[in-house]
Amino acid sequence: MAKLSHQPLYRQVVREVLSRIEAAEWRDDEPLPSETELGKNFGVSQGTVRKALDELVVEGVLYRRQGVGTFVAGTSDFLARSRFTPLTGVGGEAPKFELLGCVRINAGEQLAEVLGQRRGAVLWQVRKLIRVAGAAVGLEEILLPERSFPDLDMRRVRELKGNVPELCWRDYGVRLKDGEVRYRAVPAAQAEARLLQVEVGEPLLQLVRLSRDFDGRPQVWSVAWLKTERDAFEPATSAEQD
Amino acid sequence: MAKLSHQPLYRQVVREVLSRIEAAEWRDDEPLPSETELGKNFGVSQGTVRKALDELVVEGVLYRRQGVGTFVAGTSDFLARSRFTPLTGVGGEAPKFELLGCVRINAGEQLAEVLGQRRGAVLWQVRKLIRVAGAAVGLEEILLPERSFPDLDMRRVRELKGNVPELCWRDYGVRLKDGEVRYRAVPAAQAEARLLQVEVGEPLLQLVRLSRDFDGRPQVWSVAWLKTERDAFEPATSAEQD
DNA sequence: AAGTGGTCTAGACCACGGA
DNA sequence: CCGTGGTCTAGACCACTTC
């Protein structure tokens, strides 16, 4: 492997592996070649390959099974990996999602800027209801620029059960990283109040995320409103990707 | 280094380094011996030492400066490392803390169980007001069992500016890990409303944490109420420890 | 038994910071 | 200049899973 730029070798291996995944050389849950074999292909040692794969495992791109192999991880949503747990005690339940709709809207000024679009740009708005143990506990709104994700429609979203990162990846080759999450407590507006069966003005936990691709370009904006009367929200950590 | 248990070598190095830090062999912001030297002391190679130190850097116990050395990181509070940021845009401000008091209370049933104490056990309650740009935006309550932290008093808490992890570490030799955080949105009660200058019932972001020591024993329980009308809460990630 | 990830070594060289 | 962290190698062996 040639020494491009001044990046360490293992970083170049990271990039190379990523781009081969993007080229669909290895698909989800398919094993990569062994570390020693990859090393031969790339002209580096097994240890260097290992260090590169370590990074991608932490990033959640790959997962390993000892004695078996290294596999491409299916993309999954941050919210889907998080849990709703009682305040004390362990465990908690994973949320389930119910697709509400997928419509076009126009970006406001701030939203356009955040997503790197021009003002008034067309965005897809995907809305999902979040259920835990059957009860509606949250609402999620996901916004994607039509420019980057043309010809989206309800059917394609539904096929993947509303898994937007998976959709971006499979249909558009855009692999999303988990974005940083920001938290607020806000009063329920009418729309949320009706869907979540709470009074207008009741406190809701609001999660705001900007997801970027692996090149750092902002791609997807999402806002969720969660009812946390019964169960608290416990975010997924990057370590427990699988 | 003898092969105790069936732990890999580098994990034993991790434990050894941790216990030497606990024994105050190296103090905060003092450099450890070089990786090669540690390797000689422990009878392992530099690579193995490095892998061990990698873990402790991720955990936030150590930090490195290229070309200089590896240092013991001062303990700091999760909240103090987090930021309050506008919903869109970057940056954001670090919070400042104002110590309100330190009193004794009795543990309720649940709290006693979570902290592994008997019902009615005596706990210290440390309360802090959280300010951002001068404005009061939050209230934090920290609870520590008197049994594990005897002879605590306001003076000692004040000396360390309310930095509880630092207090536990310096005065009691208990090194706290960042606990998992759980989030809720709750209506402001009278006490919070008065201190934060909001109406009773206004939505507040509630953070609940159980911090454990490096042996996994629960040590400190803390609850914070945050006003997020203006700025959202952006939690510290374990990676950006320094 | 064979093949995979997981660990470890000894030795080498590079990049950086400080004297 | 030296000593530090940071990277890399070739080769070895172990632990685990699968056949």
Task: Please judge whether B182 and A206 are an interchain contact, meaning their C-beta atoms are less than 8 angstroms apart.
Answer: no
In the listed set B17, B49, B72, which residue is the last one of a domain according to the structure? B72
Q: Are residues A91 and A203 in the same domain?
A: yes
- Expressed in angstroms, the distance from the first to the final Cα of chain B is 31
> Per CA to C1' distance, which residue is closest to D6?
B66
CATH number at residue B19: 1.10.10.10
Q: Are residues B201 and B108 in the same domain?
A: yes
Any domain includes B3: no
Residue A178 distance to chain B (closest CA, Å) = 13
Q: Are residues B168 and B198 in the same domain?
A: yes
Q: Are residues B93 and B177 in the same domain?
A: yes
The Cα A121–Cα A119 span in angstroms is 6
CA to C1' distance (Å), from B204 to D1: 59
Can you give the pLDDT at residue B215?
80
Q: Are residues A131 and A170 in the same domain?
A: yes
pLDDT single digits (tens) B133-184: 999 999 999 999 999 999 998 899 998 888 999 999 889 988 898 889 999 9
Strand C: list protein residues with Cβ under 7 Å: A 6, 31-37, 46-47, 50, 64-70; B 8-11, 39, 43-48, 51, 65-68
pLDDT interval class at A241 (50, 70, 90): very low
Any domain includes B133: yes
Any domain includes A4: no
Task: Please judge whether A185 and B186 are an interchain contact, meaning their C-beta atoms are less than 8 angstroms apart.
Answer: yes
Tell me the backbone φ, ψ of residue B82, rounded to 5 degrees: -80, 175
Any domain includes B128: yes
Any domain includes B47: yes
Q: Are residues A54 and A100 in the same domain?
A: no
Q: Are residues B53 and B104 in the same domain?
A: no
The number of distinct structural domains making up chain B is 2
CA to C1' distance (Å), from A75 to C7: 30
pLDDT single digits (tens) A80-115: 999 999 988 777 899 999 999 999 999 999 999 999
Q: Are residues B163 and B113 in the same domain?
A: yes
Any domain includes B168: yes
Chain A contacts of B111, Cβ < 8 Å? 88
Q: Are residues B149 and B59 in the same domain?
A: no
pLDDT at B242 over 50: no
Task: Please judge whether B187 and A180 are an interchain contact, meaning their C-beta atoms are less than 8 angstroms apart.
Answer: no
How many DSSP H helices and E strands does chain B contain?
8, 10
CA to C1' distance (Å), from B56 to D17: 31
In the listed set B72, B87, B103, which residue is the last one of a domain according to the structure? B72
In the listed set A72, A88, A111, which residue is the last one of a domain according to the structure? A72
The Cα A12–Cα A149 span in angstroms is 28
Residue A42 distance to chain B (closest CA, Å) = 22
Q: Are residues A174 and A217 in the same domain?
A: yes
- What positions of strand D are covered by protein, i.e. any atom < 7 Å from a CB? 3-12, 15-18
Residue B202 distance to chain A (closest CA, Å) = 7
Beta bridge partners of A176: A213
Any domain includes B2: no
CA to C1' distance (Å), from B19 to D7: 29
Q: Are residues B41 and B83 in the same domain?
A: no
Chain A contacts of B85, Cβ < 8 Å? 182
**Could you tell me the residue range of the domain that residue A88 belongs to?**
78-241
Can you give the pLDDT at residue A64?
96
Whose tokens are 């070649």? That residue is A33
pLDDT single digits (tens) A38-82: 999 999 999 999 999 999 999 899 999 999 999 999 888 999 999
Q: Mean pLDDT highest for which of A117-121, B169-173, B183-187, B214-218? A: B183-187
Exposure string over B217-226, b if 16+ CB within 10 A, otherwise e: ebbbbbbbbb
Closest CA to B4 of B91, B131, B14: B14
Closest CA to B11 of B63, B49, B60, B61: B49
pLDDT mean over B5-16: 88
The Cα B62–Cα B70 span in angstroms is 7
Return the residue of A nearest to B236 by Cα.
A180
Q: Are residues A136 and A222 in the same domain?
A: yes
CATH number at residue B177: 3.40.1410.10
Any domain includes B138: yes
